[in-house]
Structure 1
């Protein structure tokens, strides 16, 4: 069925390709931009022009290569988890390796549910963008407009989205200030601790980038204030249900491991991790999902089901250039140029035995979605996967001559 859908997509894109070629005959200088143009269909979906070289056979061959890569990663590096890879909107590979519970030998499937860790942040950012588009808030609003007794001045919603607030990390100061770790910590509790104890700023707002879990937990509280409903309810009703993400939900204390297909998290030594008092803070983490549901999320971002295209585009603008390895950060997404020269958006996550990764390349509508429940460093080898999927382009002879002449 996947290849029938691929053929259908290729048919739909033939007209777009013909349109490109007609325009090229008028202006050869526009070649580079025309082939990157997206063609919206009747439902507002962005369609990418699929090259003739991408056929069902080539997609099948790429799938076999990806299976070899992940099989080797599983055997040699201990990768334990699920994976789904797309190109031109089509699933070209998905697989599951290892166990959801090593004691029970519960085999993983692509429907297995994982804690998303910091991959959750992009959903928090989307909730903020949706409320902004509805006129319920502005990115330049101060935090005090939603949390009046918040003691840190000069911080805006935009600062929180882009990790430029300078706020101290609640996962650190809660260890010192929360009296009983057997009692779950909530977002309101974090706010109360900050109001009562006022842990010191790391730096003044907007001075620089500093990755902040506190900032995204605070954004979840702002979503509640602006929408008038609990954060988890807002995500469920406004994002998960419309996108039919039926196996995606926020953390709840009553969710026992293995309930509803949730896999167990393990350390690199396969020591079982269990939820603790910090798991009930949402916004920076706390979402559970599957690779199948995250594919629905990826595809929805090529439509206007959640926000307008112009609103989403703001999430992919970098606000802190050069923060790390020539990366940048938007609203809940990291931005990075890969070997092919394409700029991809991605995020990783690491929390309590879960290691997650979601990368999107808007140029060819491809995605890499990887969820692991063993934090043994195996996802560090995804750099090689990126090089395989987005290889450096060979330098043309004319370009080589220009470089030599320039030197």
Structure 2
């Protein structure tokens, strides 16, 4: 009922087609985006679908809701849904060890289970921080076989299931699992199971070099404005990323998941099922989705980030609302854009990020090095303020104290937030970044 009521408010009051639209366009200008597409669905109705700017600065081809963008890590949810669907069909168990299906990856722990890959509790190190792997992504001539060779050499940093640490290696392995189970490339398996039956014609593998007139080119911010971003080898981004699609089709996909059109009710519930770690931490991530709530509202979402693209796709299941934001500029953190649009649609005020006083000793209480699993974070006091330093692509920033042991990024407080706490095991900081909750221990 709430979703229906809000839908009527948005449509009748003109918030989506007037005030809302003006604000969306202003955001694109403020953030200096070459192009951006935004789609909003209220249940099965597309109540807003617009593009702003251009897909190609050289041709000035305009962006529409049907322009194809790279989706980055939003790609993970399609693969996760396929694996969960395999379990629903009785073809595997998410509790089964990886070695049962991929015996040639026997260098990983014997108790590494499929759900550890899906939920990022495997302990396998993030490959993007490994120099050899990063070089392969930049070389368009390198093969998938070469990527798998390096994947087999990745170390594990903690026992499976012990903690949460985001690693793209997990979904690279899951793509191999799907290919072993189906006997076809995982992209084709996704097309036959989901994209073709659901009529999501824009969704599919990204080419390393853009080919179609409907595909946006990716840009990064240079000294004089947006410039073409470096190309990536899509044969090295299979499962963890590598899919392209339009904002309209991504929104329709989320709606198909929520309505039961894409998966059975049992499989859908399994897809969004939280796990609890041995230390009592209840994960806010499951099967390719961040489950971090939006205030008191349930929210299932994920972001995508590549050198030339930024993406955010969110489902508010109890409000029947879907918001998708795609841009062809890298490192934009469009999850903040999505949240601003959600606040407008829910008639909620913006958060209060005003600074409150903190004694210097209060800053010193949290300085030090913290282990986020995928990367380290160093918190230091500089110029009377707390600063965080993390390796790229994670951001570094000057922080502002807003009370309750919580700091936000001075430059963009809705993008990067930290809340510190004491535990018997030591200090912990919970970082909200890229729409997910990361855990850092000292």
Same fold (TM > 0.5): yes
Q: What TM-score results when the alignment is normalised by the length of structure 2?
A: 0.70
Shift of 1:202: 2.0
Distance 1:392 1:73, change over 3 A: closer
**Contact 2:95 / 2:115 at 8 angstroms: preserved in 1?**
yes
- Counting helix residues as a fraction of each chain, which structure ranks higher? 1
Q: Does 1:356 align with 2:324?
A: no
Q: Deviations over 1:270-317 (max 9, x none)?
A: 121242335543111000100121122122113333321121112222
Tell me the residue number matched to 1:332.
Answer: 288
Inter-partner Cα distance in structure 2 for 1:336 and 1:180: 30
Shift of 1:360: 0.5
Shift of 1:87: 2.1
Q: Does 1:294 align with 2:247?
A: no
Tell me the residue number matched to 2:149.
Answer: 192
Shift of 1:111: 1.4
Inter-partner Cα distance in structure 2 for 1:309 and 1:367: 19
Q: Deviations over 1:229-286 (max 9, x none)?
A: 2111101111110011111111344xx3252511110012312124233554311100
| Structure with larger Rg | 1
Inter-partner Cα distance in structure 2 for 1:175 and 1:310: 41
Q: Among residues 105, 116, 125, which one is paired with 1:168 in the alignment?
A: 125
Query: Aligned with 2:67: secondary structure?
Result: coil
Inter-partner Cα distance in structure 2 for 1:263 and 1:121: 21
Q: Deviations over 1:205-228 (max 9, x none)?
A: 111111111101111110111122
**Contact 1:185 / 1:281 at 8 angstroms: preserved in 2?**
no
Tell me the residue number matched to 1:45.
Answer: none
Tell me the residue number matched to 2:391.
Answer: none
Q: Does 1:217 align with 2:217?
A: no
Tell me the residue number matched to 2:108.
Answer: 152
Tell me the residue number matched to 1:236.
Answer: 191
Shift of 1:192: 2.3
Tell me the residue number matched to 2:42.
Answer: 87
Matches within 5 A, 1:70-81: 70-79=24-33, 80-81=35-36
Query: Aligned with 1:219: secondary structure?
Result: helix
Q: Does 1:62 align with 2:16?
A: yes
Query: Aligned with 2:103: secondary structure?
Result: coil
**Contact 2:309 / 2:331 at 8 angstroms: preserved in 1?**
no
Inter-partner Cα distance in structure 2 for 1:96 and 1:177: 32
- Bigger relative contact order (CA 8 A; separation at least 6): 1
Tell me the residue number matched to 2:325.
Answer: 370
**Contact 2:313 / 2:323 at 8 angstroms: preserved in 1?**
yes
Query: Aligned with 1:163: secondary structure?
Result: coil
Tell me the residue number matched to 1:102.
Answer: 57
Shift of 1:117: 0.2
Inter-partner Cα distance in structure 1 for 2:131 and 2:6: 56
Shift of 1:116: 0.3
Distance 1:312 1:53, change over 3 A: closer
- Counting strand residues as a fraction of each chain, which structure ranks higher? 2
Query: Could you tell which deviates more after superposition, 376-385 or 279-288?
Result: 376-385
Shift of 1:78: 1.9
Q: Deviations over 1:147-182 (max 9, x none)?
A: 212110121110000000011222233626978964
Q: Does 1:310 align with 2:266?
A: yes
Distance 1:149 1:57, change over 3 A: closer
Q: Among residues 59, 69, 77, which one is paired with 1:122 in the alignment?
A: 77
Inter-partner Cα distance in structure 2 for 1:184 and 1:114: 22
Shift of 1:185: 4.3
Shift of 1:62: 3.2
Q: What TM-score results when the alignment is normalised by the length of structure 1?
A: 0.76
Unaligned runs of 5+ in 1: 1-34, 37-47, 394-407
Q: Among residues 213, 218, 221, which one is paired with 1:265 in the alignment?
A: 218
Inter-partner Cα distance in structure 2 for 1:179 and 1:117: 17
Query: Aligned with 2:104: secondary structure?
Result: coil
Shift of 1:188: 4.0
Q: Does 1:285 align with 2:241?
A: yes
The number of residue pairs the alignment matches comes to 339
Q: Deviations over 1:370-405 (max 9, x none)?
A: 110012526234332232223559xxxxxxxxxxxx
Query: Aligned with 1:302: secondary structure?
Result: helix
Matches within 5 A, 1:15-30: none
Query: Aligned with 1:124: secondary structure?
Result: helix
